[in-house]
A and B are shown apart, each in its own frame.
Chain A
């Protein structure tokens, strides 16, 4: 029972911290909105082209926004010693790590879900593709946080880990990007998407089970 309590305590603490640092936390969302709104300006008044590109543009921007937000996941805990205290906790570290990832997704992934349909509409994505876009974001943004956590845990001890983090994490993000944008693309063309959705769902389930273990191990290494 106290493991569940610790899991929710860590989510609660991180949400509270995010609320107190809200200016910082809004950065990835702001970036997402900015990138998507710049596209029509650069491409020019070609509604058909924009419409075709919409799934890719929304997904690439969401992925970059997720990447941008990753570094903050363990950074402040590492710097102020909270991470050491987490490692010394009597509770299982992978569960605490999962709590941190859930909190990170609630702060950075969930706002994308709210704003993305609006931006997709702005790019002229057909309305029938909206539920699919929303579903892919719902399934795949947690995967980005879960996979990203391994990379952050490995690089948190480095002074300038940003570049290495992108190199480590981006190749693992590519399958997510491919399946998610292809699902939205097919939905826009009125084709069935259940295969892509099933693959994204299985990625989410696998990542939720598997990634907390290497993340916890990498954190132990980084604290050394």
Chain B
């Protein structure tokens, strides 16, 4: 891994520990446009911690992160990334439409309009429903719809398939496939058996990264 990857996410020598327990160390990888990275590992192996480091929520104990060849902090990283984590980040008292409008106001508007994105995640017609009336799977699809309405190239997804049914999973797999095919990047964790339609899929097993 010599030289910095000039148009993607590069991570080198990353280490993270929690309560004096080393989760992983010496972790290096590159995600280039058109690639997806699937993080695997047992519970507590540091998958979520790694994603939170990638989001800048926590600091790594060692290692460096680069976005398009520049350190994360002085790049356009925040503009170009989008994150869907365990907590959905949607307000249950607001309607579907109000939630998406707010996400759009916080970020740069993306390619799809809110209506198009809702149709894509099969929530068309739910615009004016309060989120607390939706099922868990529908909420999950709503939080994933956020990825479609804002301008971004890197998706960071923490267990995106939680509480989705078989059809919902297939839908999200398709969306990930389309995003990557259009030159996007995805870093995700999942312990479902996936059938990702992605040509360049890397897998990193965190239990072996010591």
Q: Could you tell me which A residues sit within 8 Å of B by CB distance? A: 2, 5-6, 9-10, 13, 16-17, 20-21, 76, 79-82, 84-91, 96, 220, 223-224
CB contacts under 8 Å to A, within B81-123, are 81-83, 85-94, 98, 101-103, 105-108
Chain B residues in 8 Å Cβ range of A21:
93
Q: A16-B98, A21-B93, A224-B57 are in contact. Are A90 and B87 (CB under 8 A)?
A: no
Chain A residues in 8 Å Cβ range of B105:
2, 5-6, 9-10
Chain A residues in 8 Å Cβ range of B55:
84, 88
Is B94 a contact of A20 with CB atoms below 8 Å?
yes
- The answer for the CA separation of A85 and B56 in the assembled complex, in Å, is 12
Contact count band on B: 20 to 34
Chain B residues in 8 Å Cβ range of A13:
91, 94, 98, 102
Is A17 a contact of B106 with CB atoms below 8 Å?
no
Contacting A87 at CB < 8 Å: which of B57, B82, B107?
B57
Is A9 a contact of B87 with CB atoms below 8 Å?
no
Is A89 a contact of B87 with CB atoms below 8 Å?
no
Interface of B is mostly: loop
Is B79 a contact of A85 with CB atoms below 8 Å?
no
Contacting B86 at CB < 8 Å: which of A2, A6, A9, A81?
A81
- The answer for the CA separation of A21 and B130 in the assembled complex, in Å, is 13
- The answer for the CA separation of A10 and B91 in the assembled complex, in Å, is 12
Chain B residues in 8 Å Cβ range of A85:
83, 89, 103, 106
Nearest-neighbor residue (CB-CB) of A82 within chain B: B89
Contacting B78 at CB < 8 Å: which of A17, A20, A89?
A89
Instruction: Please give the distance in Å from A80's CB to the nearest CB on chain B.
Output: 6
Is A81 a contact of B87 with CB atoms below 8 Å?
yes
Q: A20-B93, A21-B93 are in contact. Are A84 and B83 (CB under 8 A)?
A: yes
Contacting B85 at CB < 8 Å: which of A81, A89, A90?
A81
